[in-house]
Structure 1
Amino acid sequence: MLANPFYKGIVRWNEIETKGIHKPIISKDLWDRVQEVIKVRDQAGERKRKHPHYLRGTVYCGECGSKMSSMVVKNRVKDEYTYFYCLGQNRKNGCKQKYIAEGEIEKLVEDCFKSIQLPENIYSKLKDRFEQELLKREDGTIREQQFITRRMTKLADQRLKLMEAYYAQAVPLEVLKKEQSRISGELEDCQGRLEILKNGDDDIKSTLNLALDMASKCHVAYTKANPKVRRMFNQAFFKKVAIKNKRVSALHYTNLFALLFDPGLNKEDLVAGAGFEPATFGL
């Protein structure tokens, strides 16, 4: 049922997909994401972890690069203690990383947020800079919207002429299907780009403001957060936190925060939304 393209505004008839007259129930982007989730779940079921911890998936071994996991052990009187260890040791890769107590590794990550939290003066300067760069984007956005609109008009004309040729039996069914697929794909790409441009500046502004606010208060917020929210903070800020000899040896930021925390990078890249690899910073 969820695989039916009707939900995104497409009607399928005689193996031909065409844009319906009904309003799409969900956006194409959401429909595509649903299909991806269905595909992934078909390939592999979700795993339920026996000893979940909000740092799992964030902390990595700084010695060999493997993920670190957690385990619960009991003493003679059945008191429970949680430790983190390198998964590379399970594969006998020769890693010498020592086990780290839960409290120690939690404190290490907590201190990371303390060290990266933006001071008020830096926060204000970055916010002013981003607002200036956003103003420069507006002219370019308008020009691109006009170009895409003209392209969509041409594609709609192509689709109409193609159907007329098919009804006149001048175009075989296979050619019709192939061309319909091409035109539909290009129109969807154009429409998607227009939606991005329509909301792009507002989305970028809200994202940057949110990121700046988070970065200026991250340590305070993190220390007060429950485990579920801490996991969300970790995933938002870091791709990896490398641990070596019971110290944080490197931080691998997510794309947005990699630029935000690195003064050597051009902040215009952040506003423009350019693609890049996340930076890695040693501690």
Structure 2
Amino acid sequence: MSGGKIIYSLDTGKLIDLKFPSFWFENSPQGKFVLNIAFSQSKYYIDNLSENVKRGMKHKVRIGVWPVQAPLGYLNDKLTKTIVVDPVRHKIIKKCFEMFATGKHSFTSISDYLVSVGVKSRTDKKIKVDTIKRMLSNRFYLGILVYKGELHKGIHKPIISKQLFDKVTKVISRFERPRYNGHDFPFIGLARCGECGGAITAESHSRKYKNGNSPTFIYYRCTKKFGVCSQKYISEANLAKQLRKSVRNITIPSEWKDTWLKLLEQDKQQESVKAEENTALTEIELQTTEIKLSKLLDTYLDNVVSEEDYKKKKNELFNTKLNLQEKIEQIKTNGNNWLEPLEHFIMSAFQAQKIAAEKNECQNLSDFVRSACSNFFLIDQKLSMNYNLGYSTLFSVCGSPHPATYLSKKSFSVTAEGLEPPTSSM
């Protein structure tokens, strides 16, 4: 009940007077006047306490400490008044991010996984789907505090990397119901129908024989959701055979392996020198960003910009600062980013022949062709595709090998020793 209603009840006679163990108020003009003063003092105390609490919480956020309950995977340290990593549950939370980043799990399946490992809500129930979504979207696990729309750098230890968080964010943005429900078809979602453009789906059929055997056959066909389509189904064995043939066309001869790895090692040494130069340039950009943040704060304190514009611009500069810090860390640890995918490409190309030879490992075959090829179309039971960048060049060299190329111990990418480069005539 508000103070105004209490005064009104005294005026109308519903309340005779107010008596408490330490003080009391008479139903008189003087008593109601003193009561109004007491109400004003209590209102001032509550408002002042609220402002102090808000000010204290904002100060803790600015120094990188989360002021309220720690999210799942972290613990509130009562001694240091900080957030520390849960030694057990932080591994479970990281596993949830990794599972969801594959795109084969839903919020419900993540919740089921948490229940299976003994992680439940505070009421000892299954964690709700919307809570799982907020958890996977929470930047706190990345080491960033979001307080009233403003970003701050936290002092707690991050559980996941920014690359993993970005993958999860992309999956959430395009999230649909999981395709796989009781079946694990390796080539589903790989190609589209070349006649109508519909998706290619899969189905399994079992056939019983008189001897008691009941083998299962998997077929892929057009969904025909865009209308009439005359395309017939194709067996998984036939589809895998065509994919293996395409993979064999981008196989690097094993005789080239030592030379290519030697050249890759030389590039790594050269990049280590360039990494120092790139680190210095990035640190200059980082210092410039920090100066901009400082100037932005000065303009906000001088009432030059509004609070909304300040938060918007600060978040932009803060994200830029985080990206620069991450770039410096990556350069120091890995050098420039192009060498890592190049090494992955080389090692994958060397493994292509082994993957193509595995008759029953369709999942490995599917994973490889998804990374090496794109634009898959199926028409008249024939699969067509385009090789991605790098693999297309490899296909032009090794796709139709001749003795001078494929059987040679060195690839054409290695310059012959002792020969001068050709010069143009004057």
TM-score with structure 1 length normalisation?
0.71
| Displacement of 1:152 | 1.0
1:238 aligns with 2:370: no
Following the alignment from structure 1 to structure 2, what is the Cα–Cα distance between the partners of residues 205 and 173? 44
SS in 1 for 2:322: helix
The 3 A distance-change label for structure 1 pair 146 and 263 is: farther
SS in 1 for 2:178: coil
2:152 to 5, 18, 39: 18
| Displacement of 1:262 | 4.2
1:45 aligns with 2:177: yes
1:148 to 263, 276, 282: 282
Q: Which runs of 5+ in 1 are unaligned?
A: 269-283
Following the alignment from structure 2 to structure 1, what is the Cα–Cα distance between the partners of residues 344 and 269? 18
Identity %: 21
Contact between 1:18 and 1:180, CA under 8 Å: does it hold in 2? no
Q: In the alignment, what sits opposite 2:165? A: 31
Q: In the alignment, what sits opposite 1:195? A: 329
Q: How big is each residue's C-alpha offset from its partner over 1:20-69, in whole Å with a ceiling of 9 and x where there is no partner?
A: 3444443334333333334444xx32233465421222344455554433
The 3 A distance-change label for structure 1 pair 84 and 197 is: same
The 3 A distance-change label for structure 1 pair 64 and 167 is: closer
Deviating more after overlay: 111-120 vs 138-147? 138-147
1:82 to 203, 218, 243: 218
The 3 A distance-change label for structure 1 pair 158 and 262 is: same
The 3 A distance-change label for structure 1 pair 66 and 198 is: farther
Q: How big is each residue's C-alpha offset from its partner over 1:154-209, in whole Å with a ceiling of 9 and x where there is no partner?
A: 22233234435545656543343233123212212322332343344476445433
Following the alignment from structure 2 to structure 1, what is the Cα–Cα distance between the partners of residues 159 and 218? 47
The 3 A distance-change label for structure 1 pair 259 and 242 is: same
Letter in 1 for 2:217: Y
Q: How big is each residue's C-alpha offset from its partner over 1:69-121, in whole Å with a ceiling of 9 and x where there is no partner?
A: 3233456867653322233x453354x43332332222222222233322124
Q: In the alignment, what sits opposite 1:272? A: none
Q: In the alignment, what sits opposite 1:54? A: 186
1:8 to 128, 139, 142: 142
* Aligned CA-pair RMSD: 3.7
1:113 aligns with 2:247: yes
Letter in 1 for 2:327: R
Following the alignment from structure 1 to structure 2, what is the Cα–Cα distance between the partners of residues 74 and 4? 45
Higher Rg of the two aligned structures: 2
Letter in 1 for 2:221: Y
Letter in 2 for 1:231: S
Number of residues of Structure 1 aligned to a counterpart in Structure 2 = 261
More helix by share: 1
Letter in 2 for 1:215: A
1:71 to 186, 189, 203: 203
Contact between 1:58 and 1:234, CA under 8 Å: does it hold in 2? no
Q: Which structure would you say has the larger RCO, counting Cα contacts within 8 Å and 6 or more residues apart?
A: 1
SS in 1 for 2:226: coil
Q: In the alignment, what sits opposite 2:294? A: 160
Contact between 1:10 and 1:18, CA under 8 Å: does it hold in 2? yes
The 3 A distance-change label for structure 1 pair 75 and 91 is: farther
Q: Which runs of 5+ in 2 are unaligned?
A: 1-133, 399-411, 414-426
